[in-house]
A and B are shown apart, each in its own frame.
Chain A
Amino acid sequence: MSDTQIIVGLEIGTSKVCVAVGEVSDNQVVNIIGLGQSKSRGVRKGEIVDASLVEEDVRNAIVEAEHMADVEIRSVFLGVSGSHMRGFNNTGVHPVVSADREITDADIQDVIKNAKAINLPSDHSVVHVIRQHFRVDGQDGVLNPEGMLGAKIEVDVHVVSGRYNRLQNPIRLVSGLHLEVDNIAFNGLASSLALLSTEQKELGTLVIDLGAGTTEYAIYSAGVIKHTGVMAVGGDHVSNDLAYGLKVPLGRAEQLKIDHGSAIIDPEANNRSVDLSTDSVIPGKKINLGHLQMIMSMRLQETFELIAKDIEQARLIDYLRAGVVLCGGGARTPYITRLARDVFNLPAAIGRSSTVSGIKNALDEPEFATPVGLIKFGAFQSQTTPRREGFGRVIRKQFASLFGGKK
């Protein structure tokens, strides 16, 4: 254990709380050694609405993961989401002032600092600033300008921001459980980290995380993140639509969705019905399968169409040569890839965390993409920031719990 580092990803989702424990070796290989999950009861549309229930659920999931991985979890990388989060691109400019016009590390730091100076609404705070490409005197696509000659250096960054208070809610909750929050990451970004290979990022891919409360999406092109977005529409909406349209209780609708759901309408389904006569709650009721599929298909199609519209507005649809990758619980819907293919006119597939190793379960299930991605995010972070000493870490934790805040 001495040369490996334990990194934990925690996602407080709308339908469940998910914890993944990863072992990161010195050469940045991630190995998943533990998983924990529990049904989430206090979250709506990706945001906490009942803190005490969520606290209990997080504790259960953490305990399960600790048992499985046989480690003690002290700190986590926390995934955040919600309709308040925004992704946009920004550019920083910096003139190179040195006499020989050589770009130094200081220049690079300065230009990134400029790019980070974003005019955000007062209640928003920045979650990520991700570097895309540098431009030196208008020459595009420079990956590392250090040592080059130029008069003006620019950098494009992708910024993800969210409402400060709403971001603090899950952080405070986790801190209240005596867990340190190493850092937070946008769920959409985390799942794309887990699923995409370098080649897919290079070719251009759209990752859609179909969660229960929210749907997040992220676009990679030319190796960098180009666009992110989140919509507070998800699997819960599908269930709710079904409950309303078929006039069944929500729990039953959820079950119908899982048992008989489909993302596209089967023309044969109109003649078939599901018998609910054995059901104790609503005895003697029959449900037309065609209606069920239509309600579901309309909702999923609309969700995809809204994303497609947003991508078209961002003028990125032509850059998605590697197609669409789906994850999250919604990716389990039968024929969902066919619907995505029809809407986006692109090949679509269900994502697999191919870039990490470990428990097979964690890698194949589309639901675990976000926690696994959080571990990868954590691995990148610890690569750039120096490893902490054991003692210092204990002190930090003490302080953190004293002040009840993050770091």
Chain B
Amino acid sequence: MIPQNITYIRPDTLKEAWDAWQTAHEQGKEVYYLNGGTETVTYARQNKIHPQVLIDISRLPSSIYQDFLN
């Protein structure tokens, strides 16, 4: 268990994902992208990271690669 409250964001587009990170970062929050969670859970449980915002990019539509190129 990770003993703190975490804001979980699941963006629909690459731009939303980008903006969410910027916003959290500007607010001085510890923010990470989440794409599975093995590292996040392991390190948070070991008190090595303290995520306040997690942006879940694991379910972004497969078109994101195209978006990025454009």
Q: Are the chains A and B members of one assembly?
A: no
Q: Which residues of B contact A (CB under 8 A)?
A: none
